[in-house]
Structure 1
Amino acid sequence: SGSERASLFITSSRNQCTTSDTSPPAHATLSATALCSRQRLAGAAMAFLPFLSALFGWIYTFCWSASFYPQPLLNFSRRSTSGTTVDFPLINVLGFAAYFVSNVAFYYSPVVRAQYAARNRGLTPTVQFNDITFALHALVLSLVTVSQYLARPVWGFSPSTATRPSRFILGVAAGCVLGVLATYLIAASSPTADPAADWCELDVVYAVGYVKLVVTLVKYTPQIVANWRNQSTQGWSIWQVLLDLVGGVLSVAQQGIDSWLQRDWSGVTGNPVKFALGNASMVYDSVFMWQHYVLYRRTGGGRGKGTGGEEDPLLGDGGDEENRRKLD
C-alpha cells in the first residue's frame, strides 16, 4: 500500500544517513549531509502523502455531495423548475446507481478484487470508502430532484410542460443498459474464468462503471442547450457548479497521489471511470461558469444588471419545452 511504501522509504533514508566509523573528507561530509537532508525531507513528504490523499478524498466527497443540494433547494425556494431540464437529474439516477454498484464491487467483492489484481500486477483497486458513500448520497439526492419534476403537486410547484425526458437522454439510457447486458452475456459464456485471458466478472463491473462515464459525458448537454436557448442561466444554480469543480480537481489529485505512492499508474488506467469523471466534470463546469459569469451575465445569469437573481422564476416555461424538442 502507499503507507507501507512511505514507511519503507523513510527507513531506507535513515539507514543511508547513519554515520560510519571512517572519517571522510570535509567536502564529502558536506555533500553527504546535504543528501541526507534531502532524503529526510523526501521521507517526510512520503509520510504526509497518504494523509493528504485521504484528506483530498473526504473533501472532494463533501464538495461533490454538497453540490447536489443547491439545485433542489433553489427549485423549492422558487416553487418552480423553469429554466432547467428533467434530463439532468433523471440520467443522474442511472449514472449514480451504476457508479454505486461498481464501487461496491471493487471495494467489497473478493472475486472482483482478485481479478483486478491478476490484471494489474497484484495491485488493488484505488476505490476508497468515500467513493461508495458519495455514490449512494448522490443517488438519493438525484431521486429527490427528479421528484420535483415528476411529482410537482407534492412539492407545490407551478405547472410546467418540460417534465418529459428527451429522446436523446432516453436513447443514452437504453444504450447503457443494453451494453451492460451484452457484457454480462459475453462474460457468462466465456470458456474459462482466467481474468488475464478471458472475459470475467471484472469486465461486467467495468461495463457498469462505464455507464457512469457515459452519463457524465452527456448529462450536462441538455442544460447547456437550455441555457443557450433561454439566453440565461436563471433557474440553474451556479453553486452546484462551483462545488462540483472543486470536487473534480481534488478527485483527480487524490488518484494521482495514490498511483504515485504505488509507483504504478495502473491506479489510473485500472480505474478510468473515476479519473474521467473528474476531468469531464471540470470541462463542463468551465462551460457553465462561462455562461453564468460572462455570456449571460446581464440576463439574469450572474452579478450584472440582469432580470433578477437565482431565486426569481422565469416568465414562462415555453422555452423549456422548446429546448426539449430541440434535443428530440
Structure 2
Amino acid sequence: MDDSDVVSDILRAVRLSARVFGRFEASAPWAMRVPGDDYFAFYLLARGSAWLELTGGDTAIAPVALSAGDVVLLPHGGSHVLRDAEHSMAVAHEVGANSCPRPTTMETIRMGGGGTATTFVAGAFRFGAEGRGILLETLPPVLHVAAGDADMGAALAATIQLILAESANPAPGGALLSTRLAEILLVQALRVHTRRTYEANAAASDHTAHAQGLCALADPHIGAALRLMHARPADTWTVASLAHEVGQSRSAFAARFAELVGESPLQYLTRWRMTQAAEWLRDRSDSVPAIAQRVGYGNAAAFMKAFTRVQGQGPGAYRRAHRQRLLADSAPSSV
C-alpha cells in the first residue's frame, strides 16, 4: 500500500512558513494584547506562569493557565491576551507583528511592573497559499500541551527547550535554526493532537459528538484511505474502490470517513486534487490540460469547473494572480 505522508503533503501545499518573533521578559503585573490576524500564533514558556485569553470569535473559550515548559498554539489566529494572572488588572501592552522583535536579532522585549517574572518566546506560522484543507481547518482554537502531560513526549519537550535555549543565547545562524525548530515543533504538536483526539473518540460513547480532522490519520482504515488519495490523486477512485483497498464495506467506510474527516471521501478527494493542482500552477509551467491529467481529470473543462468551484477562480486566472503577487513582492520598496 502507498505510504504517503498526509501531514507533510498538506503543510507543503499550503506553503507553511515559521517565524520566531523573540523572547519576552514580563514582570507582574503585566498583560500583552495581540490583535487578530490570519497567522497561527504560538507561545513557549521558559519560566513563571501566564494566562491566555481568546478575545475574538463567536465561541467562548475558557482562559488557559500556562506554566514553565508548556507550549500553546492558536491554529485559527484571532485576537488574544496573555497576562500574569487570571484577574490581573494590568494595562495591556499592545503587540502586533510589526512591533515584535525582528527575528534576525532575537531582541528581548521587556514589560511589566517589576514583580514576579515570566519569560516566554512568541512566534507564528503563516500559510502562503489559500485553503488549509479540512484536516487543518478542524483544529481546535487552542492547542495546549503542558509540560507535565503524559503525551508531551521527549521529542516535543526537547524541541521546546532548544527553542528556549536559542532565544536566551542568540548566535550566528540563530534565525534559521529557530525557524526550523519551530516547524518541527508544529509537526510534533500536531502528532500529539492526532493521538489525543483519536483516543478521546475511542473512549467516547456512541451518543457523544466525535472530534474530526487529523485524528482520522490514526484510524487504520481511514488513515490508509487518506494516504492512498494523497499518493495517487490521478487514480479513478470511487467510494467502493477506496473501501475495497482498506478492507471495509462501502457503507461502513463512507460513514466512518465522514464521521472522522468531516466530509465525504469524494469531497475530500476533490479538495485535495485542487490543492495539488494549485501547487503545480504556482510552481510549474505545465499546461492546464497536463495538470488536469495529473489530478485525475481527462477532461480539461471538467477540471476547470471543479477548480473554480474549490478555489474561487479558474486555473488560468489563479496562475496569473500568483505571478502578479510574486512581481509585487519582489518590487523594490519606495519607503
TM-score tier after normalising by the smaller chain length:
under 0.3
Between Structure 1 and Structure 2, the one with more strand by share is: 2
Q: What TM-score comes out, normalization by structure 2 length?
A: 0.26
Bigger RCO (CA 8 Å, 6+ sep): 1
Between Structure 1 and Structure 2, the one with more helix by share is: 1
Q: Which has the larger radius of gyration?
A: 1
